[in-house]
Amino acid sequence: MNNLLLAIADVSKIATDDYVGFTFFVGCMAMMAASAFFFLSMNSFDRKWRTSILVSGLITFIAAVHYWYMRDYWAAHAESPTFFRYVDWVLTVPLMCVEFYLILKVAGAKKSLMWRLIFLSVVMLVTGYLGEAVYRDQAQIWGLISGIAYFVIVYDIWLGQAKKLAIQAGGSILKAHKTLCWFVLVGWAIYPIGYMAGTPGWYDGIFGGLAMDVIYNIGDAVNKIGFGLVVYAAAVASTSPAEA
């Protein structure tokens, strides 16, 4: 009860022009709602889709918990909760990569594909954290390494083995895979923009005036919930009424 009262007190302190605090609060509520939706819908599908829906719910649930802490941190310190954000990402982004493997299993995807995508996503995030929070004077170097890992992921899903498996599967699997690829290519591009806005170097003249946390919060909501909805739509398309 005391924690609930403290949370309500924190919300009441959000100023009308505190757009960062507002996006933390809305992001937390949106992720919670998405988690409930995914978890409660799991039994509506045949077994081959339940793990994918479960992972979608886990992604948004983990994000909701971290957004709760990040919202409180922002309310208390008015500083970007970089550490909490990267802890969230290092858990949720690899799970988003797992979604590619899960939907492509029907076409014979091997675990080596999953582990490759997970490894690249961890490299992308760890080097991003080093540039944003630890070695800020070398932010451009660490950002370059992070960017290379990101573009290898993009290559794998757009042109590499994952693409070939999606074509082989066809139908709703191919459609879902293509949509998820667009999320990675376009949606995930929000993160490097936020990185550039929050780190020193030649980026400053281009992105220095942007609110980094607002960019990240909008990107998280669109990407994590959107990822899950794409998987959900594929499950609906692939599950017949008789099998549900």
Rounded distance, CA 50 to CA 57, Å? 11
Share of the chain above pLDDT 90, in %: 61
CB 121 within 8 Å of CB 160: no
Average pLDDT over residues 62-67: 96
Q: Which amino acid is at 118?
A: I
The pLDDT value given to residue 7: 53
Share of the chain above pLDDT 70, in %: 87
Q: Which residue has the higher pLDDT, 23 or 195?
A: 23
Q: Where are the domains of the chain?
A: 2-238
Q: Which residue has the higher pLDDT, 10 or 65?
A: 65
> Which tokens is 217 given?
């919060």
What b/e string do you get for 98-130 counting C-beta neighbours within 10 Å, with b at 16 or more?
A: bbbbbbbbbbebeeebbebbbebbbbbbbbbbb
The pLDDT value given to residue 197: 76
Of 28-37, 65-74, 85-94, 102-111, which gets the smallest average pLDDT? 102-111
The pLDDT value given to residue 87: 95
Task: Give residue 244's pLDDT band: very low, low, confident or very high (50, 70, 90).
Answer: very low
First-residue to last-residue Cα distance in the chain: 40
CB 94 within 8 Å of CB 124: no
Distances (CA, A) of 51 to 6, 44, 58, 216, 221: 36, 12, 10, 27, 21
Task: Give residue 91's pLDDT band: very low, low, confident or very high (50, 70, 90).
Answer: very high
The pLDDT value given to residue 242: 43
Mean pLDDT taken over the chain: 87
Architecture of domain 2-238 in this structure: Up-down Bundle (1.20)
Average pLDDT over residues 27-40: 96
Question: How many CB atoms within 10 Å of residue 204?
Answer: 12
Does residue 120 have a pLDDT over 90?
Answer: yes
